[in-house]
Amino acid sequence: MTINRRHLLGASAGLVAAAGLNRFGLTPAFAQAAAPTYKPEEGATLRLLRWVPFVPAEEAAWLANTKKFTEATGVPVRVDKESWEDVRPKAAVAANVGSGPDIVMSWFDDPQQYPDKLVDVTELGEYLGATHGGWYAGLEGYAKRDGKFIALPLCAIGNAVVYRDSHMKAAGFQEFPKDTAGFLELCKAMQAKGTPAGFPHGKAVGDGNNYAHWLLWSHGGMMVDESGKVVLNSPETLASVKYAQELYKTFIPGTESWQDVNNNRAFLARQVSLTANGVSVYYAAKKDPSMADIAEDMRSTNLPIGPVGKSVELHQTSTLSIFKHTKYPEAAKAYLQFMYQADNMNAWIEGASAYCCQPLKEFAANPVWKSNPIHEAYARASETLRPNGYAGPLGTASAGVMADYVLVDMYATAVTGQMTAEDAIAQAEKRANRYYAT
């Protein structure tokens, strides 16, 4: 069977009108723009490289949609999983050697590292944006180069503080502090009570980068200015490092080696009572009867506001890219188009249980965001995220600095005493200039 507009879009639009519209409160959108038509190549097969899920139901929903695509088109799709830390290097190798997966579910501005190795998906990106209320600007920026879509924005994985409410109150706080000064005092008090905090200073793709960028931005620091000039060595950055040093003193030992799984594990093992994570940690506790008290006691909130005076957070982001080495580019485009259909995308967002925040504004109407109070802190991640390349343009340099953990390492070397705050900043500035000077 070959795929065409009637098979792929017309029938699905009818299903959405019949079943999905009342459920999600959406309006018919398929007539708003001319739908592109992609006919899979004869004998096409596809291979997708994706990150290991932290919410099993998210993966189950993705695989269910993939199965529907195969049933509709006859195109088999093999889905390979890698750890969060391993997706980036494996995708880069595939791009540079010209073989491997056809599609990759990657991180942040990774597509900007090898834009010439990716299939232009501008036609599909513009259609989806016009059809589903527009892309969120931060997510769209990660996926575009010189005005063209080199990838499709997939989601923001919201990052928020999770904490034990009873432990916060036992430390003398009835409400969670709104500012960084109060947050430091809370962490000191919780450490004194034997219920410490912990944030990753290791090379964690998501949590480590989220924490480091919040430290920098909340104090008014920046890696680069609007022109892309490195401006990291500033009084604001120094203030952020000194704040991080004080905060680190309240942490459980070992956070300098934490990767993306470690803060979850420490929280669920009752080793820490405060960290920042996706909503996945809540559902891990909720499904385990031995952790029922943790789930009941858990609360979520956005990271405190620092001297900069406003909320500034990174949030993990993911994109979908098609490699030029694929033998089946039309099949790959058809697959992506299918996965972004309203019924399929909504099913995936629901399956993720507030872990994956929608890339397109129409899907903010999904009921998952109001189904549990703990979801509230994650609901606006796609809307509020600040791209990691702030305040300069995204591109090869910003992607390289992120992939090399320049900012993460700056804080790690300073808080652990390997370098003074000033030396750690100077080293990070030197490393960043290697990318931005080229």
Which pLDDT does position 33 carry in this prediction? 64
| DSSP 8-class letter at 251 | B
- Residue 331 contacts by C-beta under 8 Å, 6 or more apart in sequence? 38, 40, 41, 44, 45, 46, 73, 75
CA separation, residue 200 to residues 19, 203, 207, 380, 404 (Å): 43, 8, 7, 23, 16
| 304-358 residue pLDDT tens | 999 999 999 999 999 999 999 999 999 999 999 999 999 999 999 999 999 999 9
DSSP, collapsed to helix, strand or coil, labels residue 231 as coil
Q: What would the two tokens of residue 427 be?
A: 């080293």
Which pLDDT does position 431 carry in this prediction? 98
Which pLDDT does position 24 carry in this prediction? 40
| 53-105 residue pLDDT tens | 989 999 999 999 999 999 999 999 999 999 998 999 999 999 999 999 999 99
Across all residues in the chain, what is the average pLDDT?
92
With CA atoms as reference, report the closest residue to 316 among 172, 63, 110, 124. Answer: 110
What is the maximum alpha-carbon separation in the chain?
67
CATH of 160-314+404-436, one of 3.50.50.60, 1.10.10.10, 3.30.70.920, 3.40.190.10: 3.40.190.10
Q: What is the pTM of this model?
A: 0.87
CB 102 within 8 A of CB 320: no
Mean of the pLDDT values across residues 378-403? 94
CB 335 within 8 A of CB 102: no
Which CATH architecture does the domain made up of 5-158+315-384 adopt?
Answer: 3-Layer(aba) Sandwich (3.40)
With CA atoms as reference, report the closest residue to 277 among 298, 248, 252. Answer: 298
Share of the chain above pLDDT 70, in %: 92
Residue 148 phi/psi, 5-degree rounding, is -110, 145
| 176-231 residue pLDDT tens | 999 999 999 999 999 999 999 999 999 999 999 999 999 999 999 999 999 999 99
Mean of the pLDDT values across residues 153-158? 97
CB 350 within 8 A of CB 144: no
Share of the chain above pLDDT 90, in %: 91
Confidence bin at 34 (pLDDT 50/70/90): confident
The residue type found at 174 is Q
CB 139 within 8 A of CB 116: no
Domain ranges of the chain: 5-158+315-384, 160-314+404-436
Confidence bin at 260 (pLDDT 50/70/90): confident
With CA atoms as reference, report the closest residue to 356 among 28, 16, 50, 88. Answer: 50
DSSP, collapsed to helix, strand or coil, labels residue 319 as strand
Q: State the CB neighbour count (10 A cutoff) for residue 6.
A: 9
Mean of the pLDDT values across residues 132-148? 96
DSSP, collapsed to helix, strand or coil, labels residue 338 as helix
CB 120 within 8 A of CB 36: no
Q: What would the two tokens of residue 50 be?
A: 């994706």
DSSP, collapsed to helix, strand or coil, labels residue 92 as helix
CB 218 within 8 A of CB 307: yes
CB 210 within 8 A of CB 421: no
Tell me the residue ranges of DSSP E strands in 195-337.
Answer: 274-277, 298-301, 316-322
Fold match between 5-158+315-384 and 160-314+404-436? yes
Q: Which residue has the tokens 């190795």?
A: 117
Calpha distance 127→115 (Å, rounded): 21
| Helices (runs of H) and strands (runs of E) counted in the chain | 20, 11
